[in-house]
Amino acid sequence: METQKSYKLHFIILLLLLAIAFFINIGLGSVSIPFNETLSALFGGESSKSSWEFIIQDYRLPKAITAILAGGGLAVSGLLMQTLFRNPLAGPFVLGLSSGASLGVAFLILGAGLFGGALGGLLLSSWSLVIASALGSFLVLLAVLSVSFKVKDTMTLLIIGLMFGSVTAAIVSVLSYFSNAEQLQQFVFWSFGTLGNVSWQGILILTLCVFLGLGLSFISIKPLNALLLGENYAKSMGINIKKTTLFIILATSLLAGSITAFAGPIAFVGLAVPHLTRQYFTTSNHLILLPAVLISGAILMLVCDTVAQLPFTEFTLPINAITSLIGAPVVIWLLVRKRKLLF
């Protein structure tokens, strides 16, 4: 009972931190808006200035929701990959989904440069980048799934996924080499990742994809717990390894693929958040870890996005740079501190 109460307290603290991070993220930005005006705009009231209402409802609120979906989804997909491959260095893009998305966007940008004119402008619309990224991830997913039915163990699948990522990254490098400076700059900006370019319609689609991925993840809790002790043990418990692997790959693809399509490739979150969460939730039970990782990922992404905005200035830093600059030292400190405590 004490253990359960402890976990309940941890979850209450995480939810409070999520709420605080959410309101801070919405309240801070290049334009200073009083906190009472922010709350008024959030809950349907009228602000003193129509511009404040527009900033809150049409820019900051969609960006905060995107941060929650992206952080939580990437963190959960990272946990799934680390459990499936029993590898602490596995992340949501270990199957080459990010490289596939980059390949789709690289083809689109180079193709738009070749076509030019009105067609080029149409190809480089925000939705075309989303579609190209999603198609690239989907093609890599099909390749990985086709291989997964033929290999006998997950480690082989991990290596094949890394090889798919290397091949697509190599093609992207070739396309980048033959691109002009403007095309290359646009592709680099996309690769930085961004949370502020998702419309309400895009958020609806992203939410649907993330919830489908989370649904598959929670369905797989029992097989995930069995996989922690190895495939042979899972088989002895009656777990269908092929079916479980398929479910986990589909869940990761829905989460990481959709987030990459709308927000670009965001690094570090999926790799680090499961390790951070395990420092406080001393359990390997995915019934506890999955929701904890989900909330922790959302908190970390909101914090990183708040820092990336550089509040009260006109500058914005790439979200990818902030996730690594903030997260990596924290993980190193926690791991070193834990090792000191253990030894």
Which sequence spans correspond to the domains of the chain? 2-342
For the cut 70, the answer to whether the pLDDT of residue 118 exceeds it is no
Spatial separation of the C-alpha atoms in residues 184 and 133, rounded to whole Å:
16
What integer is the mean pLDDT of 158-181?
84
Tell me the pLDDT band of 158, cut-offs 50, 70 and 90. Answer: confident
Give tens-digit pLDDT for 252-298. 989 998 999 899 889 889 888 998 898 888 888 999 999 999 999 99
CB 251 within 8 A of CB 220: yes
Tell me the pLDDT band of 190, cut-offs 50, 70 and 90. Answer: confident
Please tell me which of 106-120, 148-162, 260-274 the model is most confident about, judged by mean pLDDT: 260-274
More confident residue, 294 or 244: 294
For the cut 90, the answer to whether the pLDDT of residue 203 exceeds it is yes
| Architecture of the CATH domain 2-342 | Orthogonal Bundle (1.10)
- Amino acid letter for position 26: I
Give tens-digit pLDDT for 64-97. 999 999 999 999 999 999 998 888 878 888 888 8
For the cut 80, the answer to whether the pLDDT of residue 239 exceeds it is yes
Tell me the pLDDT band of 121, cut-offs 50, 70 and 90. Answer: low
The pair of three-digit structure tokens given for residue 80, joined into one six-digit string: 């799934």
- 201-226 burial: b if 16+ Cβ within 10 Å, else e: ebbebbbebbeebbebbbebeebbbb
